[in-house]
Structures are given as C-alpha cells and as structure tokens.
Amino acid sequence: MKTFLIALRLFLVMTLITGILYPLVVTGIGQGLFAKQANGSVLKGAQNQVIGSELLAQKFDSVIYFQARPSACDYGTVASGASNKGPTSEALQKSVQERRTAFRASNNLAATQGVSQNVPAEMAFASGSGLDPHISPEAARMQIARIVAARSFDTKRSEALNNLVERSVEQPQFGIFGNARVNVLRLNLALNGL
Amino acid sequence: MQPHDYLQLALYFGLLLVCTPLLGGFMATVFNGEKTWLSPVIAPLERLTYRVSGIDSVEEMSWKRYAASLLAFNLFGFLAVFGLMLLQNVLPLNPQGVNGTSVYLAFNTAVSFMTNTNWQAYSGEAALSYATQMLGLGVQNFVSAATGIAVIVAMARGIARRQASSLGNFWVDLTRATLYILLPLSLLLAIVLISQGVVQSFDSYVQATTLEGRSQMIPLGPAASQIAIKQLGTNGGGFFGVNSAHPFENPTPFSNFLQVFAILLIPAALTVTYGKLIGSAKQGWTIFAAMLTVLVVVLGVSLWSETQYNPVMQTAQQMEGKEQRFGVANSILWQMTTTVASNGSVNSMHDSSSPLAGGMALLNMMLGEVIFGGVGAGMYGMLMFVVLTVFIAGLMVGRTPEYLGKKIEAFEVQMAMIAILAPSAVILIGTMIAVLIPQGLNSLNNQGPHGFSEILYAFTSAAGNNGSAFAGLTVDTPFYNIALGFGMLIGRFGVILPALAIAGSMVTKKYTPPSLGTFPTDTPLFVMLLIAVILIVGALTFFPALSLGPIVEHLLMNAGRAF
C-alpha cells in the first residue's frame, strides 16, 4: 500500500514537472526567441490575411502556378496522410503512370525537354506527409515553359522567371544535409509579384 | 546516393562515437549518486521531489520490491492516459473540441505509451486534445524512458555487487534519469527544433485561404517539447499523425539530422554507462561494437535495396511516402535507426519502402530490439543475449559458464530464454491469428505478400515496443487495439521482469576471479559470437515468416508482378 502511495505521489510530481512545467518553459523560450517558427511559419498577404504556412504544401491545379508534389490526402492538414501503398501495389503503379502522363502532357515535355525526358520521381510519387512543401529544382524548371505560356509572359518576364526559379533553389543545408529543393508556395507567391 | 549523403553518414557515426563516452560517463556519475555539473540546479529539484513524494532516497530495494515499485508506478501512467483520452472532451486545453476516444483506442494508446512503444492507432492532430498530448503522452514519454533506464541500472548493480541482496532504489533511479538526463537534453533539443520551424503554441488552429482560394487549416500545438523527448526517449509517438514526415514536426534537413541522431544518442551511451557501472568500460564498448556492426550491415543492405530499379514502378528512385527535403538516403538512415532502436518514429512511410528495406526494418525489430534498442530496454535485452552467449560458449568448452565473475546457472538461462521467447511468441502467434480471421484481414491496405508484411509488421512492432508501422493497415479496430495492446504488455514486462529476476539472482552470488579457463567477454571474438547468437536465434525464429513477406515480394517485384 505504501508503495502505491509513493508511486501515485511521484507520478503526480513527474506530471507536474514533465507535463506542465517543461512544455510551458519550452513554449516561453520558443515564443520569445522564435515566435514566427513557433506559430507555424505563417505567410500573410497584402491585407494581412493568412495565405498559408511556408512549411505546408498547398494544392495548385491551375496552369498559371507551379505544382506541388502529389498528396495522398489531397493536401489535408487535419489529418495529414500518405498512401502507404507498397512497392508492388497495382493501385500505386496506376497512379504513378497517370501522374507521369499528366505531368508530361501539361508541361509538354516531349517538345520542351525531348521525348525521353523522365518525370522527376517526386512528381510521380506522393509524399509521406501529404504536405511536402518542396519539389526538386528540375521539377520546377520543367514547369517554366507552361507558366510562361499560360501567363503570356514576354521575353523579359520569362527571363525574370528563369532567374526567380534559380534564386529559389535551396541547396542541401550547410552543404551536407538533405536534398536540393524549391519551396513551391514561396515560389508561386514571388511569381505573382513578377 | 550523392557525395554529401556519404559525408552525412560519416558525420552521423563520427558524432555517435564522440558522444557515447561523454554522455555515457555522465550518466554513470548520475546513477552512482555523485555530484555532476548539473547538480547545483537539479539537486534542489530532486530533493523536493523526494520530499513531496515521501521517498527515502537511501532505502535499498530487493529485486522484488524494485519490480513491484516499477509496476505500481507504471499502473498510474496507464490510468492517466486512459482517463485523459476518454474524458478529453470535458477537460481543458481542447481548443479544437475533439471528442473522447473509444475505450479500445484509449486502452491501446495507454498501454502503448506506458510501455515506451508509442504505437499510434490515431492521428494526433485530429483525435487528441492538447491536454492529452501534454499531460498524458508527454509525461509517459519521459517516465517510460526513465523506467527503461532504471532497469538497466539495477541490472548493472546486480552484476557489480557481490553477495548482496539489493539493487538500488527504483524511485531514485527513475527520478535521476528524468531530471538529470532526459529533461535537460529535451529542453535543449526542443528549442533548436523550434528554431528550425517545429511549432510550439497553445493557440487553436489557424484558418488560411490559399493562393488558389481554398481554405486550409494550419494545425498548431505544443509539438516541439513533445518531439524532443519522443526522439531522446526512444518513444517515437508523433504529435501529428504522419510523425516526423510532417513539416511541422521535422521541417528541415538539419532538424532531421538532430532527430535521427537523438534516436541513438542515449541507447548508445548506455553501453558505456553500463560498462562504467560494472567497473569495466571495455565490457560496454564490446557490446557497443556488436550493436554498431549489425546496424552498419542492415543500413548497407537497405540503402542498396532502396536504390535498385523497381520494374513495377519503372524507376530506381522510390519517392512514395518520402519527403523531398530528406530524399532516399535520409529516409533509409532514419528507417534503420528507428527500428533498431525501438524508437518507432518515422520520417518516411515504411509501408512504401522497397521490399528488402521494409524487411530489414522488420528484422531489426525481430532481433529483439537489442541493437541499441530502447533506452535501457535495448541494453537489458542485449544482456539476455549475453547470458545466452556465455552459456553456449560454456557448453562448447565444457565449463560452468560465468559472466564478469558470476556463475551463470539454470535460473539465469531460464529467465533469459523467457525474455527472448515471449516477444517472439507474440509476433508469430499474433500474426497467425490475424491472418486467419476477417477482423485481421479486413484492415489490409495492400494485397499479396505486402499485405502479409503489414500484419507481421504490426505484431512485430508491438512485441518489440517499437511503435513504427506499415501504416496502411487500419489498426483503430477493437481486434487490433486489444491484440496489439496485449502484445505490447508482454513485450515490455515479459522482458523487464526476467531481467530484474536475473539481477536479483546475480547480486547474491560470490565473485570468482577470472582464471585461465574463463571465457573473456570483452574481445572481438566475443563480439562475433554475440552477433552470431542474435542472428541465429532471430533467423531460426523468423525466417519462414520473412520468406512469406518481404523476401517473396522482392522476387515477385523483380519479375514485374503487381498486386
């Protein structure tokens, strides 16, 4: 009985320390030092309206925007999700073929890049979170011609778009960690400003 | 694999080699009750904890008292999570107004977090209130990890002490593990993670209107504080459903590196802690060497497998379920560390990885979660295999086996066998039942051999207290919630209790000084023998099951078959 009483009291003390004090201290420091990140890295528009988070992908199906990676949960945030289809899944095989065909057609890859040009893997496969905000630099470059045509850009603005895409490429962090990538939402926001 | 991927792997293992003795030595000091550089800050908090809880910090416990205290403490952890989940709709800190969960899910989740498994049959952002996350899951992240550390410390004392009867004080070991080790490291990691973009806020979700005019909810919550401890304590339960693939949980490649490093940090350091506590750091390094060797091999096989051409998908770049910022190399490094270490967090969807990489993840867990393993749990699990190895070596040379001067007798071997066989039985019997009944099969997300792997993975993850999943399987059902819940209980306490019993038996024994006939347990030969025993036990038990899942899927994939 004494053991149970000590166990209960110690459990309550631990709950106070690790369940209440610890998250409160972290929140205090986090909100103080890194308020933007702690609150979801929110991006706001001209009228201070919330457009989204730079860390969360948005759905772009209009031809005038760069497309994000496919999402198995249709870019849902509550809850997020993945396909969890395996390497021998017929359903995944079909989705991948359809996505490749669609990407090829909408960006006219045969004409702009040559017939044998492969669709970048991340544009054919859905991400783990369903909210992957990035695509590869290649996948961004392949979409430039479509956007130039859809927005009827002249040579000067299409040159500006080329430059914008190159400026948007994030190299592996500190030269070591992760892949080169482009943040699609930030790129599209900048694109609207061209 | 690009050049900087190799550089990162080298950095990862280099840093692990540097931090293992530093943290390992520090932890040994803490559990010897000596003063550390953190004492001026922590010692007053520690004394206050004892006073408020009514703990006599110099009291010594027999193995039975130690085990009873551990079980009593864990019972309250279970009850707290269970109650919070059922009642979260009427409790505060619920800005999204989520409902109480089903009894089955509450049972499963409470067991899951008490046992350091963190199997998730729910999606945090949709099903749990902030109160449940912080007061329930967050607390268990700390104390379930501290429980594991306490057990290995008690075992070390059982081996080191001679003709004694007690193993130390569970309350003190648990408190010290939490206050001196887990809490400071978590605080540090949480703040760095926020700087990278992990959210930490008590506000309700933010409503956004996207560039194309759709509405999007931006979820928030006290995530960073929980993610730091979920990695350091080998818990692995994500704040969000997709775990560390979620950009709010793991926003940058650097946050990814820190998290994947945090997975192995404490389990690796505990090898040195153990060595110091038994008075020979070399014994600890021997076990570290065996663990590292196995990890490097499974990592190599998985990286190879994941970069092979898949004729079904017509590519060698398997990006399904992976994030662009991490890519294949980081996803596989994580997949291997999280499954050897009984962590269970994921930064890519294991269900979608290549057959052999998924198979290696399964194998890592089937080996008993002793390759680094859970904090504490990996080390005491490994000692079961050490006992077995010493016993087998003793049989080979026809001498009474002994480990560190203590005779290994029938009782120790019996207990070690229970600890090794109990989780294996859960995996094989559980999978067998699930594939025979509709309640098991209706949950499948994939067909063919991959479907079998999904079920096998679920029971393996539960028995190994890992918590990662082939997440396509729908597991929030009464059958899986109950079956996997009991699997986790057996996988946890079916090892802890035999481990403490061995400690209780060893502590009473006389010390016999090493002689010419003693089989040394700190040599490369012992490393090889230990690895061989682990692999042979694992292979004999699970090769048939692995053949029906990942191995046959690999062969069929290469033949271009889809299901």
Determine the angle formed by the axes of helices B253-277 and B139-160, rounding to 10 degrees. Answer: 30
pLDDT band per the 50, 70, 90 thresholds, residue B400: confident
- Contact state of B179 with A17 under an 8 Å Cβ cutoff: yes
- Contact state of A83 with B252 under an 8 Å Cβ cutoff: no
- Distance between CA atoms of B391 and B400, rounded to whole angstroms? 8
Mean pLDDT of A94-106: 95
Reduce the secondary structure of B26-83 to three states and give it as a string: HHHHHHCCCCCCCHHHHHHHHHHHHHHHCCCCCCCCCHHHHHHHHHHHHHHHHHHHHH
Residue A115 has pLDDT above 70, yes or no: no
Chain A CB contacts of B175 below 8 Å: 10, 14
Chain A segment 21-60 residues within 8 A of B by beta carbon are 22-23, 25-27, 29-31, 33-34, 37-42, 49-53, 55-56, 58-60
Chain B CB contacts of A118 below 8 Å: 315
Q: Which of B183, B239, B324, B354 to mutate to test the interface with A (most CBs of A within 10 A)?
A: B324
Whose CA is closest to A17, among B83, B238, B180, B243?
B180
Chain A segment 81-100 residues within 8 A of B by beta carbon are 81-90, 92-93, 96
Scanning every residue of chain A, which has its alpha carbon at the shortest distance from the alpha carbon of B196? Answer: A37
What is the pLDDT of chain A when averaged over all its residues?
A: 95
Q: Could you report the predicted ipTM of this complex, rounded to two decimals?
A: 0.96
Q: How close A22 comes to chain B (CA, Å)?
A: 7
Residue B285 has pLDDT above 80, yes or no: yes
- Contact state of A19 with B186 under an 8 Å Cβ cutoff: no
Residue A112 has pLDDT above 80, yes or no: no
What is the rounded end-to-end Cα distance, in angstroms, of chain A? 73
Size of interface A-B (CB pairs under 8 A): 369
B126 with B241: CB under 8 angstroms? yes
Q: How close A73 comes to chain B (CA, Å)?
A: 11
- Contact state of B212 with A61 under an 8 Å Cβ cutoff: yes
Residue B539 pLDDT: 86
Chain A CB contacts of B68 below 8 Å: 3
What is the pLDDT of chain B when averaged over all its residues?
A: 96
How many Cα atoms are found within 13 Å in the side-chain-facing hemisphere of B131? Answer: 20
pLDDT band per the 50, 70, 90 thresholds, residue B445: very high
pLDDT band per the 50, 70, 90 thresholds, residue B399: confident
Q: Which of A25, A89, A104, A147 to mutate to test the interface with B (most CBs of B within 10 A)?
A: A89
| Burial state string for A1-34 with b = 16 or more CB within 10 A and e = fewer than 16 | eebeebbbbbbbbbbebbbeebbeebbebbbeeb
β-strands A50-53, A42-44: how paired? antiparallel
Residue B75 has pLDDT above 80, yes or no: yes
Residue A116 has pLDDT above 70, yes or no: no
